[in-house]
Amino acid sequence: MTSFLNNLREHFPEQVRSVEEHVPGQFTVLVNGPDATEIARHLLTEHQARLVTIFAEDRVKAEGVFYLYYLFDRLGDPSWLILKAPISPENPSFPSLAAEFPAVNWQEREIQDWFGLEAAGHPNPRRVALHDNWPDVHPLRKDFPLDTVLPPFEGERHIYRPAHGEGIFHIPVGPVHAGIIEPGHFNFTVAGEPILYLQLRMFYTHKATEKLFENLPIHRAVFLAESISGDSAFSHGTAFCQAIERAAGIEVPARAQFLRTILLELERIANHISDAGAIANDVGFAIANAHAGRVREILLGLCECLTGSRVLRGMVAIGGVRRDWQQAQVEAIESTLQIVQREFRDLVAILQSSNSTRERLERTGILRPQKASMLGVVGVAGRASGVDLDLRRDHPYEAYRHLPFRVPVYQAGDVRHRLLVRIDEVGESMQLIRAATAQLPDGPHRASAQPIPPGRCAIGAVEGWRGEIVHWVRTGEGNCLERCKVKDPSLNNWPAIVEAVEGNIVADFPVINKSFNLSYSGTDR
């Protein structure tokens, strides 16, 4: 990284003001002024870096500026690189990268909505997080009180692209859906059955999570992190704890690292098995779905045995985990995995035995590798479309550096291969859990409590079962937070569904959507 940063200084001597490593493995490059596009473009094109996320911070009261942060990683380098660009409140604008790098489209628009910083030159600057009939407010500015009561929303609602031509129609779906899923609007334009294009509208249940983190005591903030996306409670909680631990220099005991790894993989297995059944259900294979639900129930029972929570809430803590395991609990892991492995093998056999299911899944909802890469797609959806990314391998954390595993990657990018990634990962996760259990070290399950120094910034990143989860924090006075930026994998992946459904028929949308299985809650954080 040192030679790389020196190269960056040589290329941009007038723009790079300073380079700092406030915490190990995290380098921050402060640039002169709001325009970091040339440096970002250089990193993306010349060094094959990946732009993980863009976010903003209001430091007007403390430093007289807003900051824009560009988070990068590079293949083969476990360090993180952050470009930090100051933006004057008198000219709250920054050059957009979205036209060249569509992966940041929604993220730049979020910055416009939350902070009132204009993404100049953005190809589609319409609101994304705030709906069209919201008043003109910027909720993540520090001068916007959390208890603000907004007036009734008035004015124009979202206008969708019109449908023109004989036999061309709109089919609106949502935002309220059957069942218990959260709201999201899908507006299809169709010519008969084939889908010409899809328009999405999310952010119906914005929970102000990032605002709620501000000034929240850190020990309470762990529980807020767990609530960001209910089926990824342990992953989000762990990413948040990692950020705080890195900021404070807290050394997590080895035993706690292995316990966290086991629980992260149990969360992955439970959700992948559930998704396998749900994908089958959406093509009418109800028996396979019932079988998957039964197998998942066995795993949830194990989760409750290990943590007291079927969805692994209340277990992760700053410095480790809240409770250690007795030998009987450790032994229950292997005995349960034996049952789950046998039952899951039967489920896979059932799925593969159905020719009609295979025909519905193959060549359905194709996301080409080039599109996936361009959109910054992560996780299961990315690996099914040739995107070879996995934070467990690329930025090893917890016990993963001690545990070998394979990252399954396919090129076809259809529903069937998104299912195959899940099937492969279940097998890899079982091996990881067995290896971690066999190597489980003795020792404390949690580091001693200590004050969290103020003014520290750090990243926590976890490969959740959907994809990468990133938390960036700035600590405040009195063991509280000043800012917590949350990036759920769904934010990257929703636009990919628009590409995947094009040319398919309306009846295949449910299974295409389920094969991505994105989180409304994680998006609406």
Residue 384 predicted with pLDDT over 90? yes
Ranges of beta strands (E only) in 242-356 are 316-317, 320-321
Q: List the domains of the chain with CATH numbers.
A: 2-120 (3.30.460.80), 209-256+319-325+364-523 (1.10.645.10)
Sheet with 185-191: list strands edge to edge. 168-173, 185-191, 195-201
- On whether the CB atoms of residues 112 and 134 are closer than 8 A, the answer is no
What one-letter code names the amino acid at 320? G
- On whether the CB atoms of residues 56 and 114 are closer than 8 A, the answer is yes
Average pLDDT over residues 153-164: 85
Q: What is the pLDDT of residue 181?
A: 80
Phi, psi of 187 (to 5 degrees): -110, 105
Average pLDDT over residues 196-216: 92
Q: What is the pLDDT of residue 47?
A: 87
- On whether the CB atoms of residues 428 and 383 are closer than 8 A, the answer is no
Q: How confident is the model at residue 429 (pLDDT cuts 50, 70, 90)?
A: very high
23: its two tokens: 């915490």
What is the tens place of the pLDDT at every residue in 347-378? 999 999 999 999 999 999 999 999 999 999 99
Q: How far apart are CA 295 and CA 270, in angstroms?
A: 8
Q: How confident is the model at residue 340 (pLDDT cuts 50, 70, 90)?
A: very high
- Angle at the Cα of 251 from the Cα atoms of 245 and 252, rounded to 5 degrees: 85
Q: How confident is the model at residue 205 (pLDDT cuts 50, 70, 90)?
A: confident
Q: What distance lies between CA 188 and its chain's CA centroid? A: 26
162: its two tokens: 């019109």
What is the tens place of the pLDDT at every residue in 389-412? 999 999 999 999 999 999 999 999
Residue 1 predicted with pLDDT over 80? no
Q: How far apart are CA 16 and CA 30, in angstroms?
A: 6
Residue 201 predicted with pLDDT over 80? yes
Residue 137 predicted with pLDDT over 80? yes
Residue 180 predicted with pLDDT over 80? no
Residue 419 predicted with pLDDT over 90? yes
Q: How far apart are CA 115 and CA 184, in angstroms?
A: 23
Q: What is the pLDDT of residue 151?
A: 87
Q: Which of 7-11, 40-44, 97-101, 192-196 has the lowest average pLDDT?
A: 7-11
Average pLDDT over residues 66-95: 96
Q: How confident is the model at residue 207 (pLDDT cuts 50, 70, 90)?
A: confident
Q: How confident is the model at residue 472 (pLDDT cuts 50, 70, 90)?
A: very high
160: left (phi over 0), alpha (psi -120 to 50) or beta: beta
Residue 343 predicted with pLDDT over 90? yes
Specify the DSSP element, H or E, that contains 341: helix 327-353
Residue 182 predicted with pLDDT over 90? no
Look at strands 195-201 and 185-191 and give their pairing. antiparallel
Residue 3 predicted with pLDDT over 90? no
- On whether the CB atoms of residues 285 and 255 are closer than 8 A, the answer is no
What is the tens place of the pLDDT at every residue in 91-110? 999 999 999 999 999 999 99
Rounded to two decimals, the pTM is 0.97
Mean pLDDT estimate for the chain: 95
Average pLDDT over residues 170-175: 92
Nearest by Cα to 91 from 60, 125, 70:
60
Residue 487, helix vs strand vs coil = strand
347: its two tokens: 């489920």
Q: How confident is the model at residue 344 (pLDDT cuts 50, 70, 90)?
A: very high
Residue 178 predicted with pLDDT over 80? no
Q: What is the pLDDT of residue 263?
A: 98
**What percentage of the chain carries pLDDT values higher than 70?**
100
DSSP for 7-60, please give it.
Answer: HHHHH-TTTEEEEEEEETTEEEEEESSS--HHHHHHHHHHS--EEEEEEEEEEH
Q: What is the pLDDT of residue 40?
A: 94
Q: What is the pLDDT of residue 7?
A: 83
